[in-house]
Amino acid sequence: MDRWVPDLSFSPQGADKDLHLAYPHLEEGQWDNQRTRSTRTGVITTHFGDLTEPVVDFIRGSHAVVGCVAWLTATPILEALSEVDTAIVVQKEDFLRPDQGQTDAWRQTLRKSYGAITNGFARYRFPYPLGMMNYSGDPTVDPVSCVGNHNSDRRAAAPRMHHKFLVRVDESDDGVVASAVWTGSFNFSKNGGNSFENAVEIHDVDVAQQYLKEFARVAALSEPLNWYRDWVTPQYRLGS
């Protein structure tokens, strides 16, 4: 039998093509080629493909969200985040800074989108250590902040804040509490929407609370978007 070779010129995420064209030995309908595939069982929902719409639905189904997302640039997701109370920590990158004389329209548009994101959070309502940072100072939490070392040497491999999770949260007598989490490989970017990606929603309080604690740890080390040092320079200090 001759060895079958697929058509490698085919783009698997092409919106107007079918996978059976790349794999002609399959009959049409034998390959699940939906652009987004989601399945719910119990407290878990799995997602595969272009996850922009599912994460937007998760955000809009929340009163408030917090999280850590390495790269946050997709317009539909930014618009959804602007509709609910939000606190997000992203990876420290050059493009976050509005450099003097900057004429790059994309950066300016991104910063405008970041500026539309707001929250009414009080820092002391979060779990330790974020809740114990600067507890006698300004209690606000930046809607979007950054963390990490800047890869100024452009090394191919460098440590990063590589998380991609959002936590659905609410206020209670005990402070900010979590009810569900979104996590997976999906970066909140246009490129992420054109890639093979996965994510899960976990609607479990105990699991979601652990992600809220991780957010509190990362956010405690965060910096404003207008960062000025390559090394980690936290904007908060532990204590008063």
CATH of the domain at 45: 3.30.870.10
* 78 within a domain of the structure (yes/no): yes
Q: What is the pLDDT of residue 100?
A: 36
In a domain, 115, yes or no: yes
Distance between CA 56 and CA 47 in Å, rounded? 13
Model pTM score: 0.81
pLDDT of 151? 56
Q: How far is CA 172 from the centre of its chain?
A: 24
Cross-strand pairs, 15: none
90 belongs to a structural domain: yes
Structural domains of the chain, count: 1
> What domain range includes position 109?
38-148+158-219
**One-letter amino acid for residue 2 of the chain:** D
Task: List per-block mean pLDDT (blocks of 10 residues) for the chain, which spans 240 residues.
Answer: 50 49 53 78 95 97 97 95 97 61 71 94 95 82 87 60 95 96 94 90 98 97 75 69
The predicted structure's pLDDT at residue 162: 87
In a domain, 52, yes or no: yes
Phi, psi (5° rounding) for residue 77? -75, -40
Q: What is the pLDDT of residue 106?
A: 79
Backbone angles phi and psi of 179, in degrees to 5: -130, -25
d(CA 235, CA 59): 27
Give the pLDDT of residue 15: 42
Pairwise CA distance, residues 161 & 234, whole Å:
14
How confident is the model at residue 160, as a pLDDT?
A: 75
Judging by beta carbons within 10 Å of its beta carbon (0-12, 13-18, 19+), is residue 229 exposed, middle or buried? exposed
Q: What is the pLDDT of residue 16?
A: 43
In a domain, 232, yes or no: no
Residue 212 in any domain: the answer is yes
Contacts of 134 (CB under 8 A, 6+ apart): 123, 236, 237, 239, 240
Q: Is the residue at 76 inside a domain?
A: yes
In a domain, 87, yes or no: yes
Give the chain as a 3 state SS string: CCCCCCCCCCCCCCCCCCHHHHCCCCCCCCCCCCCEEEEEECCEEEEEECCHHHHHHHHHCCCEEEEEECCECCHHHHHHHCCCEEEEEEECCHHHCCCCCCCCHHHHHHHHHHHCCCCCCCHHHCCCCHHHECCCCCCCCCCEEEECCCCCCCCCCCCCCCCEEEEEEEEECCEEEEEEEEEECCCECHHHHCCCCEEEEECCHHHHHHHHHHHHHHHCCCECCCCCCCCCCCCCCECC
